[in-house]
């Protein structure tokens, strides 16, 4: 599957609609239509539940002793985390999310008496629009380790910024080839 540039696709559409060189069509307007189409296609893909394959990516986190909060990746779609994996030379496990009615008391218990070497769990918080979504680890990090957490998550489609931008949804132009 190959990706095509916005410039190539824009040229094809303008030729196909016989509108190249028309003054009533503004450059920013065409780009916004393409970006809108990408966003709508991504929303449909998310609704279909196939996003695990289509936009799945990963990032790594390092921990510092006493750290509790991890920033979400800038390109994450909503809070679509598919998995957090802790991995060092000593152990590897999935970091699970606190769930259920008793999760808040369980979180308080972990913070009250953290156990050295305890497996991490997490909770997503959204303290404000300015701060955005964050991941809170329980217990706080009791180590300083590089790249020990891998987050698998669903990303947003790339934004079209110029003619060289790759259109991030090949299915949008599959029928044109």
Q: Along the chain (177 residues), what's the average pLDDT of each consecutive run of 10 residues?
A: 84 82 76 90 77 82 95 92 94 95 90 82 94 94 94 92 88 51
Residue-wise pLDDT tens digits, 117-143: 789 999 999 999 999 999 999 999 989
Q: What is the pLDDT of residue 50?
A: 58
The whole-number pLDDT of residue 67 equals 94
Q: What local confidence, expressed as pLDDT, does residue 2 receive? A: 77
pLDDT of residue 57: 94
Given this model, what pLDDT does residue 46 score?
78
**29-32 contacts: CB < 8 A, separation 24 or more?**
31/6, 31/160
47 touches 119 (CB < 8 A): no
């Amino acid at each position: 599957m190959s990706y095509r540039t916005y410039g190539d696709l824009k040229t094809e559409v303008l030729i196909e609609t016989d509108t190249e060189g028309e003054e009533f069509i503004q450059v920013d307007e065409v780009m916004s239509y393409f970006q809108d189409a990408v966003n709508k296609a991504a929303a449909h893909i998310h609704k279909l539940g196939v996003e695990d394959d289509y936009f799945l990516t990963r990032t790594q986190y390092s921990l510092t002793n006493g750290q509790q909060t991890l920033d979400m990746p800038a390109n994450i779609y909503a809070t679509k985390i598919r998995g957090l994996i802790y991995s060092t030379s000593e152990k590897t496990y999935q970091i699970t999310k606190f769930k259920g009615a008793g999760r808040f008391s369980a979180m308080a218990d972990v913070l009250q008496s953290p156990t050295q070497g305890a497996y991490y769990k997490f909770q997503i918080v959204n303290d404000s629009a300015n701060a955005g979504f964050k991941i809170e680890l329980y217990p706080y990090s009791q180590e300083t380790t590089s790249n020990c957490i891998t987050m698998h998550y669903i990303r947003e489609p790339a934004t079209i910024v110029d003619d060289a931008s790759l259109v991030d949804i090949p299915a949008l132009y599959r029928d044109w080839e």
